[in-house]
């Protein structure tokens, strides 16, 4: 489970980086598509923020008892959350930052789309020339 979860977060982080590069290259997103992306990003952001608010709890050794196996698992399970290189807290914090960047990129892409749309409308109006009525 943890490997799949972290792989999923990494996949989203990779997609966010690709999207950021696309936005820098001028890709636009229309209003309805942008709002749908923002809604999804906000939902993920809320979930990550909620999980990180419980980081003190996540970093504690679980009460598994005193058996030899429990003594081995307790520190391991706590380290899954707190490992500075690949622990959940570190990964979730980076993911939260990526979501903030992705939301900003969506807003930029929506603005780029709006600008391109306005430019296209002006181009059509200029190409049509003045309208005369009888």
Tell whether the model's pLDDT for residue 2 goes beyond 70.
no
Tell whether the model's pLDDT for residue 124 goes beyond 90.
no
Residue 85: inside a domain: yes
What single string gives the DSSP state of each residue in 73-123?
HHHHHHHHHH-TTT-HHHHHHHHHHHHHHHHHHHHHHHHHHHHHHHHHHHH
Residue 115: inside a domain: no
Tell whether the model's pLDDT for residue 123 goes beyond 80.
no
Residue 34: inside a domain: yes
Residue 134: inside a domain: no
In whole angstroms, how far apart are CA 17 and each of 37, 44, 64, 67?
15, 16, 40, 45
Average pLDDT, the chain: 84
Q: Count H helices and E strands in the chain, helices first.
A: 5, 0
Residue 70: inside a domain: yes
Tell whether the model's pLDDT for residue 122 goes beyond 90.
no
Tell whether the model's pLDDT for residue 8 goes beyond 80.
no
Q: How confident is the model at residue 42 (pLDDT cuts 50, 70, 90)?
A: very high
Domain count across the chain: 1
Interval 44-96: pLDDT, tens: 999 999 999 988 887 888 888 889 998 888 888 888 888 888 888 888 999 99
In whole angstroms, how far apart are CA 107 and each of 19, 31, 36, 123?
12, 9, 12, 24
Evaluate whether 59 touches 82 at the Cβ level (below 8 Å).
yes
Q: What is the pLDDT of residue 131?
A: 60
Tell whether the model's pLDDT for residue 132 goes beyond 90.
no
* Longest alpha-carbon distance in the chain: 96
Token look-up 């799949």 returns 4
Counting residues of the chain whose pLDDT is more than 70, the rounded percentage is: 88
Q: What is the pLDDT of residue 125?
A: 67
Q: What is the pLDDT of residue 5?
A: 66
Q: How far apart, in whole angstroms, are the C-alpha atoms of residue 68 and residue 70?
A: 5
Residue 62: inside a domain: yes
What number of CA atoms fall less than 13 Å from residue 87's CA on the CB side?
16
Tell whether the model's pLDDT for residue 35 goes beyond 90.
yes
Residue 17: inside a domain: no
Range of the domain at 54: 29-107
């Amino acid at each position: 489970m943890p490997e799949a979860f972290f792989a999923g977060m990494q996949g989203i982080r990779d997609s966010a980086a690709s999207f950021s590069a696309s936005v820098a290259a001028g890709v636009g997103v229309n209003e309805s598509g942008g709002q749908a992306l923002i809604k999804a990003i906000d939902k993920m952001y809320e979930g990550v923020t909620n999980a990180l608010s419980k980081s003190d709890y996540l970093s504690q050794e679980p009460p598994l008892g005193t058996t030899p196996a429990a003594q081995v698992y307790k520190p391991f399970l706590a380290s899954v959350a707190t490992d500075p290189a690949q622990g959940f807290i570190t990964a979730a914090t980076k993911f939260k930052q990526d979501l903030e960047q992705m939301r900003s990129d969506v807003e930029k892409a929506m603005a780029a789309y709006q600008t391109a749309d306005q430019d296209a409308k002006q181009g059509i109006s200029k190409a049509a020339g003045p309208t005369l009525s009888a």
